[in-house]
Amino acid sequence: MSNHNLFIHGADGTVEPATSEQILAAARQLLAHRVRRGATLSSPRKVREYLAVKLGALDHEIFALVLADARLRVIEYVELFRGTIDGASVHPREVVKLVLDRGASSVCLVHNHPTCVQEPSHADQLITKRLVSSLALVDVKVVDHLIIAGPDVYSFAEHGLL
């Protein structure tokens, strides 16, 4: 039995307590609506909440992009690379190819740390510099690089690393 007061309608019309899995699924759906096509990235809190729920509990690294237009309206969220518990190989050529294919003019880089260590590694800082340089060649702005560490989010932009 759960220790919450949320309920769902059963298939037979009855009302029953929602399971933790059902609550999390509903939360993911609600947060995904906040970072949908056309939504603006002007609310970093909404983007962070969405990404923390989406990537925070994974046991492997994911490198993803939130692609946006010049007005910072979301085009698409794309998980591009999958790695292990402590790393994922990121290929700048593939990032540039995807960004150009989707017609993005700005991008937010995102990856998670399954170890829940918030601070960027040296490798994180190096790939960020390579991606910023590579994308600048095709006039695409990197607005941030976010590290999702469980429920916490580290922003390269807020820490002056972009």
Q: Could you list the residue range(s) of the whole structural domain that residue 127 is in?
A: 40-155
Q: How many Cα neighbours within 13 Å face the side chain of 148?
A: 28
Are residues 27 and 101 located together in one domain of the fold?
A: no
pLDDT at 149 over 70: yes
User: For residue 72, with 0-12 CB atoms within 10 Å meaning exposed, 13-18 middle and 19 or more buried, which class applies?
Assistant: middle
Q: How many structural domains comprise the chain?
A: 2
pLDDT in tens, 49-107: 888 888 888 999 999 999 999 998 889 999 999 988 888 899 999 999 999 999 999 99
> What pLDDT is recorded for position 132?
98
- 161 inside domain: no
> What pLDDT is recorded for position 2?
46
pTM for this structure? 0.77
Are residues 23 and 59 located together in one domain of the fold?
A: no
Are residues 56 and 125 located together in one domain of the fold?
A: yes
Answer with the residue of higher pLDDT: 3 or 16.
16
- 148 inside domain: yes
| Residue 47: other Cβ atoms inside 10 A | 24
pLDDT in tens, 18-46: 787 777 777 666 655 555 555 565 566 77
Inter-residue contact 139 to 102 (CB < 8 Å)? no
> What pLDDT is recorded for position 29?
67
Are residues 13 and 60 located together in one domain of the fold?
A: no
pLDDT in tens, 114-130: 998 999 999 999 999 99
> What pLDDT is recorded for position 86?
81
